C-alpha cells in the first residue's frame, strides 16, 4: 500500500473453514501525490458476494472495481458522499448490464461497504450487511446500519438484539448491488481525529466476533496484527463464511486539505464569521430601538 502516511491500512480476506471458495473481495485506492489526495482522498472497499447467487465472487470483484473506477472518474465538484453514492449506483448498473449481456439466468449480487477519507472527513457508503465502524479512544461505534431482515426486526421491536444473533433468517439481506435497478445505498459522514480507526468487515467476521472483542483488539494491536487476529479468531470459532476485514488508522499530520468539496469543514469559518456579524447587527438594532422607545416615553 501507499508510503504516504495519512492512513495506516491493513486489509485481509479469507475463505473461512466451511466455504469451498471466497466470494468476498477487498480493494483500495491510495493517492500517489498530494494532488491525487486532494482530488480523490483515500478509498477502501469491502464487498461480499451474496450467498445463493450463482457467481458471488464475480459480483463482488466486478462491482468493487467498477465503483472505484466511477468514483475516480467522477465529478470532483461534488461532495464526497454524493460522488460515492453515484459511483456505487453506477457499479450496480454495470453489474446488471454484465448479467444481461450474458443472455442466461445467472444471478449476481453483492453487498458493499466503502470508506473515503478526504482530509479529516470520512464518507461511508453501504448497501447490504457488511459494516463500517469508527474506533476512538478505546470505544467502537458501528456507523453503518445493517440492511438485513433481523436488523429491521430489531428496529421494530419484534426481536431483541440477543435473539437476532441466532435468528434462523439472520443471513437475509434486504438490498444489494445487482439485485435491483436502484438499490438503497446509505451514505454516512463523520469527522476523524488523530489515531482514530475506521474498521470495515463482511458478516463472516461479525457472526463469530462480538463488537466488544473487535474494540479490544483494535486498542491493543497494530493494524496488520489486528486484521490477522480477527480473521484467526473467526476461523477458530467455526469460520462459517468468508471473512474480510480492513483496519484503517488515521494520522492527520500528513493530510492534504481536499479541493472542490462542496460540503465539509472548509466553509464553516466563513459561516461562523457571518453569523457573528449578523448577531452584532441585531444587537445594535435592538439597542437603538430600546433607546428610541425610552425617549418616546419621556415625552
pLDDT tens digits, 166-186 = 776 767 889 999 999 999 999
Count CA within 13 A, CB hemisphere, residue 219. Answer: 11
pLDDT band at 53 (very low <50, low <70, confident <90, very high): low
Q: Indicate the DSSP class of residue 145.
A: -
pLDDT tens sequence across 19-33:
999 999 999 999 999
Q: Over the Cα atoms of the chain, what is R_g?
A: 23
- What average pLDDT is seen over the chain? 85
What angle, 0 to 180 degrees and rounded to 10, lies between the N-to-C axes of helices 80-101 and 56-72? Answer: 140
Close Cβ partners of 3 (under 8 Å, ≥ 6 residues apart): none
Q: Indicate the DSSP class of residue 180.
A: S
Residue 224 has what pLDDT? 97
Give residue for cell 453501504: 126
Fold of 7-261: Phosphatase 2c; domain 1 (3.60.40)
pLDDT tens sequence across 109-124:
999 999 999 999 999 9
Average pLDDT over residues 64-75: 97
Backbone angles phi, psi at 159, to 5 degrees: -140, 165
Residue 167 has what pLDDT? 72
Q: Where are the domains of the chain?
A: 7-261, 264-299
Would you say the pTM of this structure is higher than 0.75? Answer: yes
Cα–Cα distances (Å) from 232 to 69, 82, 131, in that order, read 32, 36, 19
Do the beta carbons of residue 20 and residue 239 sit within 8 Å? no
Average pLDDT over residues 259-263: 29
Amino acid at each position: 500500500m501507499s508510503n504516504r502516511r495519512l492512513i495506516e491500512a491493513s486489509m485481509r480476506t479469507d475463505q473461512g473453514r466451511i466455504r469451498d471458495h471466497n466470494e468476498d473481495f477487498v480493494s483500495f485506492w491510495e493517492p500517489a501525490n498530494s494532488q491525487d489526495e486532494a482530488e480523490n482522498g483515500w478509498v477502501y472497499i469491502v464487498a461480499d458476494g451474496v450467498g445463493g447467487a450463482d457467481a458471488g465472487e464475480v459480483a463482488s470483484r466486478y462491482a468493487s472495481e467498477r465503483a472505484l473506477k466511477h468514483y475516480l472518474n467522477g465529478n470532483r465538484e461534488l461532495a464526497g458522499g454524493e460522488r460515492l453514492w453515484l459511483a456505487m449506483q453506477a457499479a450496480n448498473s454495470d453489474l446488471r448490464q454484465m448479467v444481461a449481456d450474458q443472455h442466461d439466468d445467472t444471478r449476481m449480487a453483492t453487498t458493499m461497504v466503502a470508506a473515503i477519507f478526504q482530509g479529516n472527513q470520512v464518507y461511508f457508503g453501504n448497501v447490504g450487511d457488511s459494516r463500517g465502524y469508527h474506533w476512538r479512544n478505546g470505544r467502537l461505534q458501528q456507523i453503518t446500519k445493517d440492511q438485513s431482515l433481523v436488523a429491521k426486526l430489531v428496529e421494530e421491536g419484534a426481536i431483541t438484539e440477543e435473539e437476532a444473533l441466532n435468528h434462523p433468517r439472520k443471513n437475509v439481506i434486504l438490498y444489494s448491488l445487482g439485485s435491483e435497478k436502484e438499490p438503497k445505498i446509505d451514505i454516512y459522514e463523520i469527522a476523524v481525529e488523530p489515531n482514530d480507526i475506521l474498521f470495515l468487515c463482511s458478516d463472516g467476521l461479525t457472526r463469530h466476533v462480538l463488537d466488544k472483542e473487535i474494540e479490544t483488539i483494535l486498542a491493543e494491536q497494530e493494524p496488520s496484527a489486528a486484521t490477522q487476529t480477527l480473521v484467526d479468531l473467526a476461523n477458530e470459532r467455526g469460520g462459517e463464511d468468508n471473512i474480510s476485514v480492513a483496519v484503517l488508522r488515521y494520522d492527520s499530520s500528513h493530510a492534504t486539505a481536499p479541493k472542490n468539496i462542496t460540503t465539509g469543514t472548509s466553509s464553516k469559518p466563513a459561516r461562523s464569521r457571518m453569523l457573528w456579524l449578523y448577531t452584532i447587527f441585531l444587537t445594535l438594532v435592538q439597542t437603538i430601538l430600546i433607546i428610541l422607545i425610552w425617549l418616546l416615553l419621556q415625552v
